[in-house]
Amino acid sequence: MSAGRGSGEDAGGLAINAEGLVRRFGDNVAVDGVDLRVAPGEIYGFLGPNGAGKTTTIRMLATLLRPDSGTARVFGHDVVREADAVRGRVSLTGQFASVDEDLTGLENLVLVARLLGHSRAQSRVRARELLDAFGLTEAAGRQVKKYSGGMRRRLDIAASIVVTPDLIFLDEPTAGLDPRSRNQVWDIVRALSAGGTRVLLTTQYLDEADQLADRIAVIDHGRVIAEGTPGELKASVGSGALHVRLRDPEGRPEAERVLSQALGLPVRLESDPAAITARVSDAERVAHALAELARSGVAVTDFALGQPSLDEVFLALTGRPVENDEANDEEDAA
């Protein structure tokens, strides 16, 4: 299990240690001073909207792009000066399937296996083994352009682990996949991690980061704006949120007044005319507020006290909801 561990690790035992990474594209500063410390043995999530700088950061760590300034070491190897040593230990699965569409699934894997130094015979054995493991045996002889999105993504990940890497970068591994395919990719990610491969994945799905990652860096406008376990991030915005649904939308102004007074906090009116949400830090005050609401005579059909979602975390950190930053899509074009 720990075959890859312990060898060539950074002095501090870090899988990734990046300091002050900066990368510009023309006037656009895609990555604006990212610091990153990823300990071995964890699935690390990079969470942020489109254009936040996730892809650019990953490409620098995978030696595909030189940083304009700052340094990054992967397993103690500098990504610029010792790029080949880094390449020997990591794999990248890009945002757009990095497989050859004209070739069959089998040929793609044999190609990568040959390029990594396997003999012709070994290459075929390894390719078959991976196709089997990823549920692609039946599609082995078919051109990749005829694959579904989920199959293509699985093949792409398979190509990244022809030689099981010590660290794998997955750039939005489930973007555009249906829920079934997404769950399959999640299973693969968990299996990879269990097998001793460190995983750094980017995602715009808060749910995905929450499900998979041991630690998360929230990135926005090229900077890491928060870092921690999913639990820590949630705790940083309070204990949760109170969601209330009224029987009658007309009672909402009254309910809003009562709740904000009882909680001592402003509440949020949802687009649903009968719904109100309030961020709360203290469960006792919630009980009090609900009692106040009942006394005021506003009829409530439903209420729930939830853990804050990462959506709310993002809102709390940036003051705006998660949205794709269309004006800043340089890294998608790259």
Partner 1 sequence: MTTPATSAQPIRESALRSALSSRVRPPRPNALSASLTFGWRALLKIKHVPEQLFDVTAFPIMFTLMFTYLFGGALAGSTGEYLQFLLPGILVQTVVFITIYTGFGLNTDITKGVFDRFRSLPIWRPAALVGALLGDVARYTMASTMVVVLGLILGFRPAGGVAGVLLSVALLLVFSFSLSWIWTALGLILRTPNSVMGVSMMVLFPLTFVSNIFVDPQTMPSWLQAVVGANPISHLVTAVRGLMDGTVTAGQIGWVLLASGALVAVFGPLTMYLYRNKK
Structure tokens at 80: 């610029």
Name the DSSP class of 266: -
**Closest to partner 1 by CB, 3 or 287:** 3
| C-beta neighbour count of 148 within 10 angstroms | 12
Identify which of 274, 278, 204 has the alpha carbon closest to the alpha carbon of residue 241. Answer: 278
Return d(Cα 174, Cα 110) in angstroms, integer: 24
**Closest to partner 1 by CB, 87 or 221:** 87
Of residues 136, 200, 242, 263, which one binds partner 1 by CB under 8 A?
136
Return d(Cα 311, Cα 320) in angstroms, integer: 10
CA 249 to chain centre: 37
The answer to whether 72 touches 16, Cβ cutoff 8 Å, is yes
* 20 backbone φψ class: left, alpha, beta (φ>0; ψ -120 to 50): left
Span 146-185, contacts to partner 1 by CB under 8 A: 146, 148, 150-151, 154, 159-161, 163-164, 181, 184
Of residues 44, 46, 75, 134, which one binds partner 1 by CB under 8 A?
134
CA 276 to chain centre: 29
**Closest to partner 1 by CB, 56 or 277:** 56
Of residues 117, 179, 297, 319, which one binds partner 1 by CB under 8 A?
117
Asked whether position 315 contacts partner 1 by CB under 8 A, the answer is no
Asked whether position 112 contacts partner 1 by CB under 8 A, the answer is yes
Binding mask 45-74 for partner 1 (x = CB under 8 A): --------------x--xxxxx--------
User: Per CB under 8 A, which region of 67-75, 105-113, 203-211, 288-296 contacts partner 1?
Assistant: 105-113
The answer to whether 244 touches 54, Cβ cutoff 8 Å, is no
**Which residues here bind partner 1, judged by CB under 8 A?**
3-4, 25, 59, 62-66, 84, 87-88, 90-92, 94-104, 107, 111-112, 114-119, 122, 126, 129-130, 132-139, 143, 146, 148, 150-151, 154, 159-161, 163-164, 181, 184, 187-188, 191-192, 194-195, 197, 334
